[in-house]
Structures are given as C-alpha cells and as structure tokens.
Structure 1
Amino acid sequence: MNTGDTAWVLASSALVLLMTPGLAFFYGGMTRSKSVLNMMMMSFGAISVVSVLWVLYGFSVAFGEEKSGLWGGLDWAGMKHMTSIETTLNGSVYGIPLLVFAAFQLMFAIITVALISGAIADRAKFVTWLIFSVLWVSIVYFPVAHWVFDFGNEDGEGAGWLAAKGVLDFAGGTAVHVNAGAAGLALALVLGKRVGWKRDPMRPHSLPLVMLGAGLLWFGWFGFNAGSALGANALAGQAFFTTMVATAAAVLGWMLVELVRDKKATSLGAASGAVAGLVAITPACAFVTPVGAVGLGLVAGAICAFAVGLKYKLGIDDSLDVVGVHLVGGAVGALSLGFISNYSGSEGFFYGGDSTVLGHQALAVGAVAAFSFTVSLILGKLLDLTIGFRVSEETEVTGIDQIEHLETAYEFAGSGGGSHLTKGL
C-alpha cells in the first residue's frame, strides 16, 4: 500500500463530500427565502440516502466483479468479500485500499443525486424527493457509474460497456453531470412550472450564499478531478491545474456574455460561470493541455450563459439551471475531447486524430442522457400519480419551509433590539 496515495485519495474524498454542502449553499442562496431550508435539506437528504445504499448494494452494482458491461453485480453487497487491499482498474494496480476507493466513489454518487434537486426547487415534497433519490440512484446512477468508471480486471473483463469502448471521462462529465442534468429536465417537466413563473420576480434571496457555495464547490472540485488520478502523481497535478484555469476562463466567458447582452456583469453570473467551467473540465481535466483548458472554459462559460436563457423560450421551469449548466456543460466538456484531447491513442482533431474519439464521446453523452431522462420521467410520473410529487399551491405560496419542515430560515419577529431603551427617553 502506498500511504501517500492513500492519504491523497482520503483527502480528496473529504473535498468531494464538502461539495454537497457547498451545493446546498449555492442552491439555497438562489431560491427565495421561504424555500431555502427545503432546498438545502434536499442536498443533505441525498448524503444520507446514498451513503446507506452504497453500503448495501451501490458499490457492488457500480464496481462489483460481475463480468457484465451493464452492471457490477451483487457479490460485494453489504461490502462483503472485498478481500483485496489494492484497487485494480484497467489493468493498473493502485496502491490504495479498495475501501478507500469505495469511499471516494461514494462522494460522486452523493453529489450526482443532489444536483438534480435544483431543477425542482420551491415545489417538491421532501419525502417524495427522498423516495425518488432511492429509486433513481439505484436504477440509474449505480449502473451508469459501472458503464463509465469500471474498467474491469487486468484483461478488461467486467468493464462497463462505455469504458470498454474507450470513452474518455476522467471524473464524471457524463456519469455525473449529463446524468443529473437529464434527470433534472425530466423532473422539471413532471412537476411543471412554479406558481407565478415568468410573472413574479423569483430572484435569489442571498447572493452572498450563492458566492460562498460556488467557492466551496470550486475548492472541493480539486478533490473531484485531481483525486480521480487515485494517487499523488503527475496526472493529479495536470487535473488540478487544468481545473483551475478552465474554471477561471469560464467565469470570464459567462461575464463577457453578460457584458455584451446586458452591459453589466453580475455576481450570480460569475458564480454560475465558475460552476459551468468546473462541469465542462471534469471529463477533460487529464486529457487536455492548460491552453486547451482555457479555451474549453471560455467556450463552456459562454455557451452555458446562453443555454440558461432558453428555458424561458421553451417554457421549461428548470428552477436553478441544472439543465443549462450541468447537462449542457457536461456535454460540451465531453464532446470537446473529440477536438482538443491530447491523450495518447485518443487524440482529437486538433492533435491529428480522426472522428473516432468524437464518435465515442457523442455515444456516451447520448446514451447516458437518454437513459437517465427516460427512467427519471417514468419514476417521476409514477410517484406523482401515486403519492404526489408536488406540494399544493397553498404550500408553495405560503412557503415550503414552513409547511414541509415546520421551520423558517430567518426569524424576523422581535428584531429591532434596543427598542426598550427608547421607552425611557
């Protein structure tokens, strides 16, 4: 066992876990004050649900030893029979315990589920959301993680079908972001538009919380991307550096669109641009040069800035831009590798490659998006027809925090301390 690599992957696991509370701040700040707690609880609910399921069968379905391209099987259900102290992927042996690898991958599963929640902010029943999380992560995420992330044994046996085709996705552009974005689109269609959408102002209630959340996401994302090297090595350094510069460039790309379109750059735009850059560089961080990362960030920031505005033209109330940032940003990052990948044997067009890489990337984006959207639409409809997915109009107008959780984020009653002093004047 390599203690240095193990320490880095453990630290990276903690960084990736921090991303979900960061997402809670990011999403919570973007909602109205009467629904911020519900929004944050959806992220914390994802942490709890997915962690338990990962132990029971999730890790086994994603990375078990079943010789299948569709799922890993149930041999490791309950984390049993995991006798290896090493992690073997794609014929390479990594000097980290298998349980540490399981912990690292757990954090990916958690945030993927949490990302979906932003599409249905302000109007989803919390208990129904938890049930959907159980079903979706079991039927969609765990198998898709196997498709993309499991490279099988040293002979390639048991590899996920997309991994076996040579799809490039270093840290989850398809398995995480396209997956979550497609699910978010499906649920937004199932739940419908918020009361007063397009008519009433639905501005973020706390932009400082949004900026704080974006900062925590940026910080944690170094574990997300650089940690995926599974060691403290040169590959981790490359992923770390390209993550930094692509994200910075994406902020500039998003703000440039705002400056041209609106003549002003906004803090919400800067925060959203950062997340768009993080999403886009995720699949590409180990396969592009620093200059390629800057170019990808600029393009992704600009494209996502335009994409989030399409929901008003299409009439889809994707509350917090999950589709525009994660589905679109993840697809841009994955497809970009067909052009800017400099990975040996899988070069993109700009490095002398042919259409093979772009074809594989398009297949991965299309397959994951179609599977996630279809299953999510079915699950969402079934839950809505049986136990109900959307809160009542009265609850939505009054405030989902107060009705669903018997709490409010901010207590203003009795404020204005010091008023008793005026009585003696």
Structure 2
Amino acid sequence: MSSLFPTYQRFDLTVKEAKGSWIIDEHDERYLDFVSGIAVCNLGHGDEDVLHAVQTQLEKVWHTSNLYHLPLQEEVAKLLVKNSDGDAVFFCNSGAEANEAAIKLARKHTGKSKIITFKQSFHGRTFATMSATGQEKIHSGFGPLLPSFDYLPYNDVNSLDKLVDHDIAAIMLEVVQGEGGVLPASQEFMQKVEETCQRTGALLIIDEVQTGIGRTGKPFAYQHFPVSPDIITSAKGLGNGFPVGAMIGKKSLIESFQPGSHGSTFGGNPLAMSAAKATLEKIMNEKFLEVVEKKATYLVEQLKTELNQNSLIKEIRGIGLMIGIECSEPVAPIIDLLRKNKLLVLSAGPNVIRLLPPLNVSIEEIEQCIAIMKQTLLSSEYSVVAPIQG
C-alpha cells in the first residue's frame, strides 16, 4: 500500500531522469515530452543556466524570511514589470496562491465582493480558487462553495452585455482556457470584457498561470489582444520547474496591499528567485519569442497537414505552443497509446489532446512528435508503432 493519498491518476511511467525535451524512465526508455510538467519547464528539463543560477544561490542562502530585504526579489519583479502592464509584484509559490492573492486584492481595493469568472475555467484547487473555477467536477464533494463567484459562458459577448451589477470587484479569466479544452478567447470577447470592467467599475484579472512566460509567443498571452489588465497572475513556467508564483498589479493597487494585508512564508525565497531570474532572462527576449512563434506556426501547420484528413480530428486550435487537438471521441486511450509510442501529451477535457512542448523544442523534435501522432492515429483501431529514436 502506498503512503501517498491517491489524489493523482498517475500514468504507467516512472521517471528516472530528464533532459531538454526528453524523459527517461526506470528502464532507460526515452520519451519525447510534450507536457513540460504541464507548461512548467518552458526551457526544457535541466536547463543549464537555471541550474547554474540555483546552484550558485544554494551555496549562499536558500531561505531567510520576507522580514528582510532580498535584492533578487526586486530584480525578478523588475523583469516582470518590464514585460507586462503591471507596476508591482507579490511573490508566492504556485498559481493557485497567485490567484488567491488576486482575489483578495480585488476585493480589498474595490470594497466589492463579487467576482465574475467563466464556465470551464480553471483557477486552482484552494477553496477560493476552486470556487472561482467554472467546472462542476472540481466542485463536487466539497459542500457549499464561496458564494461570491458567478460563472458566465466563455467567449459569449451577449452575457457580458447583460451584466448590470455594480457590486462586481473583478472579472477574472484565462486568455486560453487550458483545462477547459485549449479554448482561445476571441478579439471581440476580450475587448468586451475590458469594456464591461470599465462600465461596472470592476478590475480585470488575467490568469496567466499556464499561458504566461512565453508559452504563446509573447511574454503574456493577453498581449495578443488590445487590453490592459489590472492584475496578472503567473506561476508554472516562471521558475522552469522550481515552485514559484507571482501576482502583478498596477500602481493604483499598491495602497491596498500594505503590511499585514497578505503574506507567504516561502514566497519569493532566494532559490525561487534565482530560478525565476535565469528563466525570465532567457525567455523575455524578443528574438527568443520570435522563434517560439515560428515554431508554433510550423507545428500547427504540420499537424493540420498530417492529421486533418483523419476523421477522428475535429479541430486543431491554440495560441503559440499551447495547442489543443479536439477529437470526436474520448482521448484517454489515444494518450495511453501515444505514451506507449514514446510521446507524452495531456488531455484538456475528455475529447482534447493538449500539446505543451518546451519553448526551445527543436524542429526535429516537432517532426518526431508529428510522425508519432500520425502513425498512432493512422488506423481507426490505433496501434503501437516502432519508437522513433531521439
């Protein structure tokens, strides 16, 4: 009997080591990893610059307390502010914590209580972020949720037009719904969300936990749209595998998060900051992001060329290197077969295969991914194919 709570439905794979875009199991079998720790290892596994930064910091100090000044926090905050619409940063340990901070800040600053989120959204598993999440399967079994969240249909402009309540503290959304099926927002919807915030006096919170840190080819996914959020949340890719989260807010909000308003024992600790700084210095680079966009375009074009004739495929969508392949049937058996064929991918809801490769994935690795997918889906029965060597 395991000593762990069985909270995860684990795949039949034991990881021994990992490097770049590859995972090696206990039997020394190699798997092409298009999961990246669920959009966490944006620079791949074991990035040398991140490793060096953490090792160097480890020899100095890895924890003191936020009661003291930590220059690395200021350095990382400046990088986040420089690459966003924000002016100040609060550091924590995860995306759920970043969203908790955003919810608290919005309510405290506005003096209002209601938060509007969207159906099929995912914002975390703490009590507040679970309540913010618009999915019944996340809510089930936990009794009454926090009463201050209302869920609207995603990408539905008309539902926003009907909002007349002026007790709305914030509208909170993902630019691409990740767990909800890799569903990108439309231009019209994003503009209407911002207009609605202005009309009702609500703050605009963009949850960039999965979409941020270069995942869509820009520092943050909202930058594909003509909007300026009041609060941005980030985590996952921020530390390239090291636990770290951040809430970024505009200058006007600083007065509402004074000493005693919020805190985190481990948030912004020196090891996390060293990993985040090294990660941001590599990713928040115009040339790096241009290459990400080119690779993303190539991957989507090749997927459509090779898979669109397959009757199983309904749609291929996404932004940047966050791609969903919607199928006409449940994808769990397909994902199992892809893993047996040495390609690791995720689901995003019951019928969507989700691809989240490292941002520095090579063209050759992209082609290997497509070849495995094509061969695996070639027959209606599916089959295990000869592994492609990396």
Q: Same fold (TM over 0.5)?
A: no
Q: What is the TM-score when the length of structure 2 is the normalising length?
A: 0.29
Q: Which has the higher helix share?
A: 1
TM-score, L = length of structure 1: 0.28
Q: Structure 1 or 2: larger strand share?
A: 2
